[in-house]
Structure 1
Amino acid sequence: MGRFKRTLAACALVTTMAAGTVGWAAGDMQTAVTGPPPGAAAAWTADHVLGRQLPDPAATAPARAAQFFAGLTAAQRELLAARHPLVVGSLDGAPPELRYTANTRALTAERDRELARTADPELSGGARRQARERAATYGRLLTPGHRVLAFDPRGRGQVVEVYGDLRTARRIAVVVPGSDTDLTSYTTAARMARNLRAEMARRAPADHPAVIAWVGYTTPVGVGYDAATGHLAEQGAPRLIRFLDGMAATTHPATPPAVFCHSYGSVLCGIAAHRLTGRQLSDLVVAASPGMRLDRAGQVPVGARLWAADRDPTDWVRRIPAVELFGLGHGADPTGSSFGARVVSSDRAEGHTGYFVPGTASLRNFADIALGRYRAVTCAHPAPDTAKGCHHGLS
């Protein structure tokens, strides 16, 4: 009876929160950007420069795309990247080095276009200011050392960046960020990825780790209707699945990547988990999660392990009710004892974005998980019914 009352109270809280936010948040509702840019995709499909039909960028499986590019000469691959940079640059299954080249061309073209907009007297001051911000972002991504694996200028913009070298990496990790992350504001996601790679390299330099910041979906803005529902996560989940399929087809680490999902990103990862397998990822790790729209850890793919960072006491996500009602809320708490995830310590982490900060137990644990050093992971203090801790069943 006590549990039933608590659930009713939580449901009432979710409903009250929704009623109070939907009105002002409706104007901030995002339209998800999915699929390749229509104009670029149409030009690609209509191009017979190689004397044959090019693979449909929206429908071709990444493994088939990888086979297509493997059958081309280097000159043919470069020709396609030059003619269709927006398509090749984000085509899962295309060789990563070719995608870097294509995205350099696409970023250069978009930077020049935005610079031209800054001098357009027909535009408002706000539009010119936004153009300057975009041009500056593109310019930073064009500086030496950046490896852009995907780029989409539509809407708020999306970008996928690699830290490290995918050709030599024996261990790869992917960071999926949460709300308020886009092309011009992904510095937090980038910092998470860089910090994780640095910790992995410090602990296992011979593995030449690479970490990818995957800003490949439309995220919610602020705390409103989008953040309280799963519709943006549902639109983004197929993109993550395709991306991981492309990684499996084009990279050859010692094991599949470990995927780290922060905040609303864990909602996306939970939805994607129903269609993922151990071939696509080795470990699924959530931090600052409001819920995964999963009832239990057993719903993640066979062969992959599900981990959750213990919630930092100063993280506001602790105040979110662990329920889902009428599409609002994201369900069970992944750190709860009944959920069944392997809960790891986040000692010294502070705030909602502090789990990837150097010196925290969470970052050390994340690095050990990504490196497959499971016995080195520090478990959170187990509850009586989870006394086996987070190491049970691991070698």
Structure 2
Amino acid sequence: MSSFMSFKSPFTRLILILSSVVAFGALAIDMYLPALPVMAIDLAATSAQLQLSLSVFFAGFCIGMLIYGPLSDYFGRRKLLLSGIALFAVSSLMCAFVNDVQHLLILRGFQALGCGACVVMARAATRDIFPPAQLPSMMSKMSLVTMTAPLLAPSIGAVCLMIAGWRFIFVVLAVFASGAFYFVYRDVPETHQPDKSQGLHVFGVLRSYWALLTWDNVTLMMLMACAMSGMFAFISGAPFVYTQLLGFTELEFALLFGSNIIAMSLVTTLNLNLLKQFSAQKLMVYQASVLAFAGLVLVVLTPYGRWIIPFVVLYVAHVNALCANGMAILLHRHDRQQAGSVTALAVSLQFATAAVSTVLVSMFSHRPAFAMTGVMLVFAMVACACAWMQKEPAK
């Protein structure tokens, strides 16, 4: 194993490896969504039971992050990261061979636990490796991959479904995880030496989480969670709104979906350049304000059909850069010994809130377009309010 210092030079390779691990969550959540109707028939299950598999994953994912975060601060990152990837890979492969929904639910729970470890460990390792001054740009590069994943995942899942059926989706997830395991094992050293000075017990973990719940931290975590939740509201509502209400073909929908990825890449690149001149705090406030503006215009233009599309792109394009800046600020506030815990708390809140946003969109499915844009607006307004509450960090 090469030393840590010798590993620091290939920044691009390192970010790609860690980003691929962080992307597990989005891929596992969104890739199999196009296959849910087919899975319901094949497993003799109801749609409600298949939707429960998504809820089980969200629950296991958040629990896994909250457990693995303090463990990584105590035991170190590398072994837990490798164990999480292995658990995710094995569970994904076993999902491909289930014959009933009960076993699917159990395996999705284990898959989520492994996924939670991966997401926490990869982000915490980034905090360990890079100095505070480089965190915003590194988080932007990482988030470009991780935020692109939920936009691409449904299309990848649909292709897998057409090629070899729904079981192939889980095989692809297992293969992807196995590849990530190889590169992490080969190239990622231990970035945080075990720190057992604080001890490890339930009440100690709870106290460490409680200590992180300051006003500034909570509002910053809510800012990132609401920004991501607005994007998930779009992801959950767009397939029906674009194809059924706006009349786009599947190919046109795929192209329009891809335009969000292109716009996100452009805004992220712009964010990287602007970080050389402005603080992450100032950029984050601007980006949250753009979300609020786009959300308001979306609701106003919803009755006019296709006029919403440019403002959907504007909205989604800024989510990645905003969350990257927010995570960099949050990690900068805490030392490396707390990186696992603070990352677990922030990301678990993001996905828990994202789950709420998808439920809200489904609750108002009798007016799907307004449900999608309305939920996007609500979360954007909360994100904007939280952004303006943040204090400029001391230099």
TM-score range, shorter chain: under 0.3
Q: Larger radius of gyration, structure 1 or 2?
A: 1
Indicate the structure whose relative CO is greater, using CA pairs within 8 Å and at least 6 residues apart: 2
Higher helix share: 2
* TM-score normalised over the length of structure 2: 0.23
* TM-score normalised over the length of structure 1: 0.23
